[in-house]
Every structure is written in C-alpha cells, then in structure tokens.
Amino acid sequence: MNPAMNVIEIIQCKRDGGTLSAEQIRWVIGRYAADEIPDYQMSALVMAVFKEGLNADELAAWVDAMLHSGDVLDFSHVAAPKIDKHSTGGVGDKVSLPLGPMVAACGVAVPMMSGRGLGHTGGTLDKLETIPGFRTALDPPEFRALLAQTGLVLAGQSETLVPADRRLYALRDATGTVESIPLISSSIMSKKLAEGLDGLVLDVKVGRGAFMKHAEESRTLAETMVGIGRSYGTPVRAVLTDMNQPLGCEVGNACEVAESVEVLRGGGPADLLEVTYRLAEEMLLLGGAAADRAEARSRLERAVSSGAAFGKLVEVVEAQGGDPAVIHDPARLPAAPHHHEVTAARSGYLTRCDALDLGVAAMRLGAGRERKEDAIDPGVGLRILAKVGDAVEAGQPLVRLTWADRTRLEQALPLVERALEIGEERVAPPPLIHGEVS
C-alpha cells in the first residue's frame, strides 16, 4: 500500500464534495481491482461519487484507471474497420443479434462483447446461450482468431478486460448506485476502449425501462460518453432510443433469438427494424463502408435480402460451437410448456405498455435474474401483442406469457396487468428515436 494514500481520506474528500486527484483515483481503483480495498469502503466511495458526481478531470482519471486495470486488446491483425455497438440496457432489446451479422456481412468487423441480463433488463449473452452448444466465454487468442475468420464475434468480456469494472458493477448493483452518469459512462467506455475499436455506436435508452428515465439525462449520458471517446481518439456516435415500452414483440431469451432470426429472414416488427437499421447505418458510416445513410441502408437491406446476413449468423454460431439447426428452424429453441394470455378488460386504445413492469414480469417468470448467481430459464418469456396507440377490443389478448413454474407465473401476472392501460382516446406511440449525439 502507498503510505501517502489513505482510503478513508479519499472517501471523506468525495463525501464532502471535494475533488480527488488523478493519483488518488488511480490508486483507489487499482487497489480495489487487486482486492486490496474491501467492498464496504468502495461502497462508501461509490455512494459519495453517486451523490457528488465527478468533474471532467476526475472522470477522465477514473476512466483511465478502469481501462488500465487489465488488458487492452489489439485487433490490428484484422484489416477491416472494427466497430462495436453497445446499448445501455433495455427490455426486449435484442438489436445486437440481427445487427452484428448485418454489419459484418457489409465488410465491417464487429468484435462484440456483451453482458448478461441483470434486474429487469435482458442480456445478449443469456440470449445467445439458448443456442445449444454456443460458447460465449472465449479467451483473447481465440477471440482474435475468430474475428479474423468470420468478422463477427459475439462473446462475453474476458476475465482480464477491465477487471475493476467487473467488481465495481456488481458492487453498484448491490448498493443502489447504478444510475449515475459518471459511473455508467466510465463503466461502459472503459470496457469499449479496452476493445481497441476504430469506432463505437452507442444506443442510449431513454424511458421507463431504461436507467435514464428522462431525455435530458440520457442526452447528458450520451454527451459524456462521446466526449470520453473523443479524448481517446475513438469516434463515438450515440443514438437516443425509446425504452418506454419493450422493443419488438418478444421479451425473454430463446424467444428473442427467434425474433432476431426473423429480422435476418427479412421480417420482424417495425420498431425493432427501425432501431436495428438506424444503429447499423451508423456503424457502416463510422467504418467508412458507406458514404451516406441512404447507401448504408441499401447495403444493409441487400445483406438481408440476399441471405448474406443470415448466413453470417449461421457461420458465427458454427464457429462458436453452437447448433446451427436452431437458427435454420427456431422452433427447435427451448420453449417452456405453458401459456397464459392477459386480455383487454374493455375496448379502447392501449395508452401504456410499461417496459419496466414488463421487464420485471419477465424476470419473475425466470427470464432474468434478481441476483447475479441466479440461473435463468431460457424458454420462458412474454409476447407483446399490442403496443401504445393500438386499438384493442374487449377480450383481445394483449400479452402472452410462456411459463414453466406456476408460482413464478403468479408473481409475474400482476405486473403484466399493471403494465397495460386502456383509454378511450388514442395516444400517439412514443417516438422511437429521441435524438443523436456525435
């Protein structure tokens, strides 16, 4: 331990609204990553940061300390531009699954490192692991080799990449300190910068089912992350997208893989298509694979209509040990045995389809985990049959629950019922794209 540094003084300084030096930040993050500072002291510091924030210099030092707490990857052996996409987390947000193959099929390499679902938000890794045999734990040499081979890797963060965030994120999740702009931005950007990318597209969610409930907060989060990228010379574009109601129709794990395959087959719900294409267009533009958005769009549409994007997903599933038969026939994916429909109590218009309540309901059914160590059930989920603004008739099914355990169903049902509201007047659906920051 450095005798000039004292963790209690660091906590007191931030608690009292003071400014930490870059050296103090480097020391405390480094020692915490090395397990030399206990969780109870780090919790106190993180709560102080949550309450008092970090100024620009402190944030820069915090990001840098996190980034250098582990390995920084180098994909310079891959000639294609390396562009990733990251979402701040949502309900029914399966965009990564169709987007990765679409973008890779257009010649942009996508080294996608994803996370698991926690709380009411889903995680790409949990969805991918419903594909029998699919391996998401790849060590850096295998990750590098697969990226060169297929141009798309869908995997989890390796043990050695930003270990400080691994500990800090779990701690924040358990101490009510997730929803903080400096803590979210440093967590996401340290991991993304460690991937050695040529560019990054951020999907910053806004609304009831997002960490940021209001457009101004999500814009500040987006501006903060874009600014961090700029200071490292990594171009970042952020798109603010709606998370007041779930994205697409499926909320769960295997069912979201099936809906993603539908998109790659040329179908899929309109809202999911709009967000997926918009983010994919940004990736092609950042990667220099299209001169403007119209060209990007037509390249992506061709990748889907020609079957190239679907073929890319099959190739990646095979390369990562998965069974491609379930991609060819998603009916073979795991599915729970029982169904229950929540129907409209009266005729009118759907005025609310609350992403937070529906996300928690899916978690209660077993699609997500309340604690990090919980196992998920790949085959349970919700199918959203009506969205805000839709006219509904009394008795019409609004949400179809696929369930395995009656106790869990009983916990989920009141949340689904609370999530839905029918009014006499039609309300306009929330806009899907709330803005962009670059």
Residues engaged in binding ligand URA (CB under 6 A): 88-89, 115, 169, 178, 183-184, 187-188
Least distance from C-beta 437 to ligand URA, angstroms? Answer: 17
Nearer to ligand URA, 335 or 356 (CB): 356
Least distance from C-beta 184 to ligand URA, angstroms? Answer: 4
To the query of whether residue 172 is one of the catalytic residues in this protein, the response is yes
Nearer to ligand URA, 195 or 315 (CB): 195
How far the first Cα of the chain sits from its last, in Å, is 41
Q: Coil, strand or helix: which one is 371?
A: coil
Cα 322 to the center of its chain, rounded Å: 22
Least distance from C-beta 243 to ligand URA, angstroms? Answer: 13
4-7 long-range CB contacts below 8 Å, 24 or more apart? 7/31, 7/37, 7/41, 7/45
The two beta strands, 83-87 and 199-206, are parallel
In 89-177, DSSP assigns E strands to 110-114, 152-156
| Count of positions (residues) in the chain | 438
Nearer to ligand URA, 196 or 429 (CB): 196
Q: Given strand 83-87, what is the order of strands in its sheet?
A: 83-87, 199-206, 236-242, 433-437
Least distance from C-beta 383 to ligand URA, angstroms? Answer: 26
Inter-CA distances, 2 with 25, 27, 28, 89, 369, Å: 13, 8, 10, 38, 39
Q: Which of 62, 88, 114 is nearest to 437 (CA)?
A: 88
Catalytic residue among 68, 82, 85, 86: 86
Nearer to ligand URA, 105 or 239 (CB): 239
Least distance from C-beta 121 to ligand URA, angstroms? Answer: 8
Catalytic residue among 69, 158, 185, 187: 187
Maximum pairwise Cα distance, the chain: 71
Q: How many CB atoms lie within 10 A of CB 387?
A: 18
Catalytic residue among 116, 167, 191, 219: 191
Q: Which two tokens stand for residue 207?
A: 């609304």
Nearer to ligand URA, 180 or 320 (CB): 180
Output the DSSP codes for 217-284: HHHHHHHHHHHHHHHTT--EEEEEEE-SS-SSSEEESHHHHHHHHHHHTT---HHHHHHHHHHHHHHH
Tokens 């060209």, residue? 295
Catalytic residue among 84, 165, 242, 354: 165
Least distance from C-beta 420 to ligand URA, angstroms? Answer: 27
Nearer to ligand URA, 89 or 209 (CB): 89
Catalytic residue among 144, 172, 278, 312: 172
To the query of whether residue 187 is one of the catalytic residues in this protein, the response is yes
Say if CB 254 and CB 379 are below 8 A apart.
yes
Name the burial class of residue 250, with classes exposed (0-12), middle (13-18) and buried (19+) by CB atoms within 10 angstroms of its CB: buried
To the query of whether residue 191 is one of the catalytic residues in this protein, the response is yes
Least distance from C-beta 192 to ligand URA, angstroms? Answer: 9
User: Which residue's Cβ lies closest to ligand URA?
Assistant: 187
Nearer to ligand URA, 194 or 263 (CB): 194
Q: Which residues are annotated as catalytic?
A: 86, 165, 172, 187, 191
